[in-house]
Amino acid sequence: MSPSNNTVESSYSTTDGDTSEVPDRLADTFSGKIVLITGGTGFLGKVLIEKLLRKCDNIEKIILIVRTKKDVEPLLRVEEMLNGPLFTKLLAARGRSYVLSKISVVAGDTSKSLVGLSETDRQTCRTANIIVHSAASVRFDEGLKKAVLLNTRGTKYMLEMAKECPNLELFIHMSTAYCHPEEPVLDEKPYPPPVDPHEIIHVLETTDDGTIDILTAKLLGVYPNTYAYSKALAESLVTDAMETMPVLLLRPSVVVPIYKEPLPGWTDNINGPIGLMIGAGKGVIRTMYGDDTGHADFIPADCVVNALMLATWDYLRNGCRHKVLNLTTSAELTYSWKELLDIGREVMETRVPLDWVAWYPGGSMTRHRWLHRSRTLLFHWLPAIIVDSILFCLGVKPVLIHVQKHIQKGMEVFEYYTNNQWDFRSDAVQRLRTKMTPREREAYKMDADDLDVHKYFEAAIICARRYILKEKDENLARAKRHLIIMKYLDLIVKIIFYGFLLYWLSLTLGPKLVTWLS
């Protein structure tokens, strides 16, 4: 950090802990700005919109490019989004009319030519000062053509539109830290793409789906899925644009539920580690294949948004020298898969059990594939077949085999990341954090100084119960009683199982042992 920055920071220091008079430079950066956001109805997009509207008093407008989904019009989708628990604090502080007055919704689709915008809406988008492109398909099992057209070609279209904005000050592209799997250590710099993105877009646009399916494995190469592949291609387009446009490339790792505000633990999905914990807590995930001593990198959604706002301030006010930032946490703290699973199990066994668990939470991760497959057969498929057979005989629609198919598909994707290890450099982000004032460090939390992992996961599981699983708080006592019953049932089954196993061994090996001893 330069001496001038040290002088600036010291002028904002306080002696009594009162930061109310210290300026909020991150919020001030967005004063009078028109911010265009894609992917605004996604997890990260929602958190960004809420933060901008709650913290930035004088933001001019937020333009959201939203597509029609399941016959629900874009404006209605946004209004329904505002009814969610994430926006309760914002609406209470600002009022619904204020929030709606700051949002302009345009119908569009980043996967379509000209972003699917009408000429009128395109003119509206051209007024943007800051563009945040976070729209993407995050499905790892997406077909190659769809993934590339959404994630790569969509980025190409957004860059083309950004060039038409006469007052553009910054284009921010949200990538992922896991889009260069061939790099065991990921630096904050651009990397070459697996192929020329323009060529692959053309090939996929002009090739039939059957041929693409045949070529997918060869095209992916070292890439584990179409998501990582298409995001790596998109990064290449953004890197090329840096030569002529004001561009920032942000690479968050696995984005997990909110850490601090506005609602600790909130998420709108159960992907990633929270999904694993919920599956284990319900008793339907009993085994996982992977190295439980390894670790993954997770970052809460609000920390990503805070880093985005900090990077925007630094770029617009200080002429940020670093244009690629890894938004990761492993340089600061790491938890092994075993530690995370143990924490989740402890929380759900003792404090926040889930309703009507199928079995007592348990299971573990193993690096032995044969053991994992044996456990899968015994503890996943066999119980599912038995329960569904009983349901069928009772005239009830079987469900567990269908659930296990989905779990199996998800676990196959998950296995790649639990059996490989990456390290992420985040030196530029760490330097950025030193430029924050005491007020900004408090309002835009980006460190783990007061992190209590048990409380964090407890908040995340509570939110998952309430807002995703739709389980009521008043049912917690019943859930605890049910869990106790399942605990004893689990113990009885184990006693019976191991009793029969010992009995079988005694019958088969006993005579041979007696003969050998005699």
**What residues have CB less than 8 Å from 488, skipping those under 6 apart?**
none
Buried b (16+ CB within 10 A) or exposed e, 215-242: eeeebeeebbbbbbbbbbbbbbbbbbbe
Owning domain of residue 217: 24-266+296-333+423-441
Residue indicated by tokens 């446009």: 245
- The reported pLDDT for the residue numbered 6 is 38
Q: Do 84 and 47 meet the contact criterion of CB atoms below 8 Å apart?
A: no
83-128: pLDDT as tens digits: 999 999 999 999 999 999 999 999 999 999 999 999 999 999 999 9
3-state class of 491 per DSSP? helix
Evaluate whether residue 151 is within a structural domain. Answer: yes
- The reported pLDDT for the residue numbered 335 is 87
318-328: pLDDT as tens digits: 876 789 999 99
Task: Specify which residues 247 forms β-bridges with.
Answer: 171
Mean pLDDT of 37-65: 96
What sections of 282-365 are H helices per DSSP?
A: 301-318, 337-350
The count of residues in the chain is 518
In whole angstroms, give the CA distance from residue 373 to residue 418: 16
| pLDDT band with cut points at 50, 70 and 90 for residue 15 | very low
Asked whether residue 19 carries a pLDDT value surpassing 70, the answer given is no
Evaluate whether residue 313 is within a structural domain. Answer: yes
Q: Which of 178, 373, 360 is nearest to 289 (CA)?
A: 373
- The reported pLDDT for the residue numbered 498 is 82
Query: Which position has the higher pLDDT, 271 or 124?
Result: 124
| pLDDT band with cut points at 50, 70 and 90 for residue 10 | very low
| pLDDT band with cut points at 50, 70 and 90 for residue 272 | confident
Q: Which of 289, 304, 313 is nearest to 413 (CA)?
A: 289
Share of the chain above pLDDT 90, in %: 63
Evaluate whether residue 54 is within a structural domain. Answer: yes
| Poorest-pLDDT segment among 107-111, 361-365, 414-418, 426-430 | 361-365
In whole angstroms, give the CA distance from residue 312 to residue 253: 19
Evaluate whether residue 182 is within a structural domain. Answer: yes
3-state class of 131 per DSSP? strand
CB atoms within 10 A of CB 175: 25
CATH number at residue 245: 3.40.50.720
188-237: pLDDT as tens digits: 999 999 999 999 999 999 999 899 999 999 999 999 999 999 999 999 99
DSSP string, 46-111: HHHHHHHHHH-TTB-EEEEEE--BTTB-HHHHHHHHHTSGGGHHHHHHH-HHHHHHHEEEEE--TT
Cα dihedral sign, 418-183-430-159: negative
In whole angstroms, give the CA distance from residue 40 to residue 243: 27
Evaluate whether residue 249 is within a structural domain. Answer: yes
Evaluate whether residue 248 is within a structural domain. Answer: yes
Q: Indicate the pTM of the whole model.
A: 0.91
Residue indicated by tokens 């807002």: 467
* Average of per-residue pLDDT values in the chain: 90
Cα dihedral sign, 267-272-278-279: positive
> How do strand 170-174 and strand 185-186 relate by DSSP bridges?
unpaired
Evaluate whether residue 352 is within a structural domain. Answer: no
Evaluate whether residue 70 is within a structural domain. Answer: yes
3-state class of 299 per DSSP? strand
CA–CA–CA angle 19, 23, 29 (5° rounding): 140
Q: Which of 233, 275, 303 is nearest to 48 (CA)?
A: 303
User: What total number of domains does the chain contain?
Assistant: 1
Token pair of 31, please? 């004063």
Mean pLDDT of 117-141: 94
150-182: pLDDT as tens digits: 999 999 999 999 999 999 999 999 999 999 999
Share of the chain above pLDDT 70, in %: 95
Separation of CA 200 from chain center: 27
- The reported pLDDT for the residue numbered 168 is 97
Token pair of 371, please? 């053991």
Separation in Å, CA 424 to CA 187, 195, 393? 6, 23, 53
| pLDDT band with cut points at 50, 70 and 90 for residue 18 | low
